[in-house]
């Protein structure tokens, strides 16, 4: 009986590791360096992700805005820190899809899907038949 609470804690942690909710470090495709931390949460049965931290390089703006976001997008000229960049994802089996993701560096919005693979978050953005997949690391 002493070990019962311990077992529940382990099961809870293991279950959460397969969820996309939580904080994830985004990685630059070219340099392999950390770019930002995105926090993903569930709201009303859908999943959303917002930027909670940006790793600033010397000479970069420490509090950038999305100047390249489309003018008709509510995120246009808004601060990237605190910005919702993932919207309206729905869980479907082991994947989360039917939502979109914004690349605030270039202001483009893509259809996307996310899934957990090897403890990492795979983030795939689509533009027509083309796609690119990034690997994000869970913040511990």
Place of tokens 């959460």: 16
- pLDDT, one tens digit per residue, over 99-113 is 999 999 999 999 999
Answer whether 64's CB lies under 8 Å from 80's CB.
yes
pLDDT of residue 2: 56
pLDDT of residue 9: 39
Domains of the chain (ranges; CATH) run 20-138 (2.40.128.520)
CA 91/CA 70 separation, integer angstroms: 28
């Amino acid at each position: 009986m002493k070990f019962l609470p311990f077992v529940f804690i382990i099961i809870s942690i293991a279950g959460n590791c397969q969820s996309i909710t939580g904080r994830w470090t985004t990685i630059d495709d070219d340099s392999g360096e950390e770019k930002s931390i995105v926090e993903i949460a569930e709201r009303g049965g859908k999943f959303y992700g917002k930027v909670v931290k940006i790793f600033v390089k010397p000479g970069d703006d420490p509090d950038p805005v999305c100047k390249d976001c489309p003018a008709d997008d509510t995120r246009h000229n808004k601060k990237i820190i605190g910005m919702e960049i993932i919207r309206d994802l729905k869980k479907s089996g082991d994947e989360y899809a039917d939502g979109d993701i914004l690349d605030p560096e270039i202001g483009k919005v893509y259809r996307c899907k996310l899934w957990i693979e090897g403890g990492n978050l795979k983030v795939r953005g689509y533009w027509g038949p083309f796609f690119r997949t990034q690997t994000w690391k869970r913040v511990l």
